[in-house]
Structure 1
Amino acid sequence: MDPNTDAATFAEQGYIGPFTLWEPEEMNAWWKTQRRALLDPANNARKVFDNPVNYDRHLDIPGLSKLITEPEIVRRMQSLIGPDILCWRTEFFPKNPGDSGTGWHQVETYAIGETSTGMLEATEHSPGIPMELTCWVAFTDAMVDNACMRVIPGSHRKWQYDEHAPMKWNNAAKDNSFFGYNYDDIKIDKDWNPDQQNVRNLEMRAGQFFIFTARCIHGSTPNVSRRQRMGFAIRVVPTHVRIYGGMNEFQEFGHRFDLDRHGSVLVAGRDAYGLNRIADTNAWGEPFTPVESVV
């Protein structure tokens, strides 16, 4: 791993990868174990959010607790946003056979839905260094025919969508939507067509991952195969970013999320700011072990 190469590639593209974390056989066996844990009523009783979206299962599933601090992932994140990093959210992204593709979208503060208030607020700004990153891990093969991720390289340098403009959630919305939110409604230039840009399909085998800023316009192809695609997003920020500032709850995808039990996880370095509630252990009392800072 070359941090300088990662940083240069990221500055140009808005993402790096794919990289191999585990070989497909290892990931397949690991994911089988996690599926059993996700169905365990004892784990479900410990979920932070009581709703079907399945946010933040790293806080109650031990295997996912370890995944978010995998050095192969965290070191690459450190090369892009610095040594001190918090994981503020994880989420699953399944695509079942017949599911439509996820529409193009672009965010940074995660002001998603009918509010203009973002979930993330940077208290410091450094040119060229993003305030957020997502690591997208392929738990299964993700090919063009079963909903691989797709990106527009370099699109992180210009806003094509106004993420603070209000959108109405529509559960029936399928094509060109982000799980019920239609980003076409908030395009800055209504004539700009993302499909006519330099689109890159990111095919990955099970056990691979890529890292991107959500400012890099992204979506997915439809699943026209007979195979499920399962992706897992690890979302992180530098420790100077305030998370869910002042919120007790939020609304997304037609559900209410109570933040009373939420805590961010220090996955690398140290937290010198103290802006956010920190979860030191998962729901089973197992400590999170951050990767050491790098110089």
Structure 2
Amino acid sequence: MASAVGADVNHALSADELAAFQRDGFIGPFDVYDAEDMERELRAMRPKLIDSRQGVYHQGDALSGTTNLASYDRHLDVGFLARHVTRPEVVDRVTSVIGADALCWRTEFFPKYPGDEGTDWHQADNFANVGKHPQIVWPEDAGFGGALTVWTAFTDATIENGCLQFIPGSHRTMNYDENKVIEYDADRINQSVKNGVRRGFYGYDYRQLQKDPDWHPDESQARSMVMRQGQAIMFWSTLMHASHPHSGLTDQMRLGFTARYVPTAVQVYPAQDTLAEYGVEVSLDQWGCVLVSGEDAYHHNRFVERTVGGEPFEKRSA
């Protein structure tokens, strides 16, 4: 049976949890679904996920199911994912950190198959890292940037199948300049070994963005985020994070789903009407933010109230 979540149940961070989050840059894992519920939902929506033609970025033959952009923003057309990004277990924790007026601006699937390389150590502030423009812009007086990422384990995530790794407390200093040029080369995928570990970044080399080319992350401080199916973890995108390679010792795919949140004061895609990443450029015509809590007093972002299929997004009361 699915866990019952009443409107009066609040999952906000306690004072101690908030202090730990501010210190470490992450909190969790925490439960969002029972493992059985998550498995059932995953099986039910798998046919919809495979058919990327329903996604908002599918434009003729420009976007194939093997392109990373095909996994973006499926909450805009898949009902379960639309409900997930507004789920109280997620939104209450998010608003504990960024305030009651919050939006979800992007979701992504992160599958890792047997033999896949791990993901490079990286940080994201304005998300210009693999595109042409800053994708989120905080108010000038904010003093910091980044987005809150909620990474949910749609399957078990273990060291053997490529779980996340964090360096606690590393969110306070950006070691990368996202405005530098980073070159895409599909031939790089699964071809790089860094510090003895097979790592890459979906056809990019994230080290090209380092402010100091001789700097190396202190991997001795890394923690592995082992999670059971249906759990989630919340972290600042500016936290140094990576993932283990899939060892191939198990045939289980690791599947993570991220939802990214910012306050409504943040401008999303302010200088672009297309999204260019991974060697593909697509229109943002069908894209929009989702207001997950509170109100939008700024009116500088585009919002959608329903999925492509007509299912309404449920806003959490402030």
Q: Tell me the TM-score normalised to structure 2 length.
A: 0.86
Q: In the alignment, which residue of structure 2 is the partner of 1:14?
A: 25
Q: Which amino acid aligns with 1:167?
A: I
1:101 and 1:67 mapped to 2: Cα distance? 26
1:181 aligns with 2:204: yes
Matched, 1:235 2:251: no
Structure 2 counterpart of 1:211: 234
Q: Cα distance, 1:197 vs. partner?
A: 3.9
Q: Distance in 2 between matches of 1:14 and 1:191?
A: 25
Cα distance, 1:185 vs structure 2:
1.6
Aligned counterpart, 1:78: 95
**Mapping for residues 142-221 of structure 1, pairs under 5 Å:** 142-173=157-188, 174=190, 175=192, 176-221=199-244
Q: Which amino acid aligns with 2:101?
A: D
Is the Cα–Cα contact under 8 Å of residues 138 and 267 in structure 2 kept in the other structure? yes
- Superposition deviation, residue 45 in structure 1: 4.0
Matched residue count:
288
- Contact 2:167–2:219, Cα closer than 8 Å, also in 1: no
Q: Distance in 1 between matches of 2:137 and 2:212?
A: 26
Cα-to-partner distance string for 1:113-144 (whole Å, 9 max, x where unaligned):
263x21001125445x7551110000000000
Judged with a 3 Å threshold, the aligned counterparts in structure 2 of structure 1 residues 105 and 263 are, in CA distance, closer, same or farther, namely same
Given that 2:126 and 2:145 are in contact with CA atoms closer than 8 Å, whether structure 1 keeps it comes out as: no
Q: Deviations over 1:81-125 (max 9, x none)?
A: 11111111111000000001011111111012263x210011254
Are the aligned partners of 1:81 and 1:131 in contact in 2 as well (CA < 8 Å)?
A: no
Moved more, 55-64 or 164-173: 164-173
Partner residue, 1:269: 294
Residue 54 of structure 2 corresponds to 46
1:91 corresponds, among 99, 108, 113, to 108
State the AA in 1 paired with 2:80: G
Code of the residue aligned with 1:238 in structure 2: it is P
3-state DSSP class of the match of 1:86?
Answer: strand
Instruction: For residue 282 of structure 1, give the secondary structure of its aligned residue in structure 2.
Output: coil
1:246 match: 271
> 1:147, 1:79 → 2: CA distance?
29
Alignment match of 1:31 (pick from 42, 48, 61)? 42
Taking the aligned partners of 2:53 and 2:77, their CA distance within structure 1 comes to 9
Unaligned 5+ segments in structure 2 are 1-10, 193-198
Q: How far apart in 2 are the matches of 1:233 and 1:266?
A: 17
How far is 1:284 from its partner?
1.4
| Counterpart amino acid of residue 298 in structure 2 | Y
Paired AA for residue 45 in structure 2:
Q
Which residue does the alignment assign to 2:154?
139
Cα drift, residue 38 of structure 1: 2.1
Kept in 1, the 8 Å contact 2:265–2:298? The answer is yes
Give the Cα–Cα distance (whole angstroms) in 2 for the partners of residues 185 and 292 of structure 1. 43
* Structural RMSD (CA): 1.6
Shift of 1:11: 1.0
Amino acid at match of 2:118: G
Tell whether the 8 Å contact from 2:135 to 2:269 is kept in structure 1 after alignment. yes
Aligned-partner SS, 2:104: strand
Q: 1:122 aligns with which of 138, 147, 153?
A: 138
CA contact (8 A) 1:124 1:240 kept: no
Deviation of 1:200 (Å): 0.5
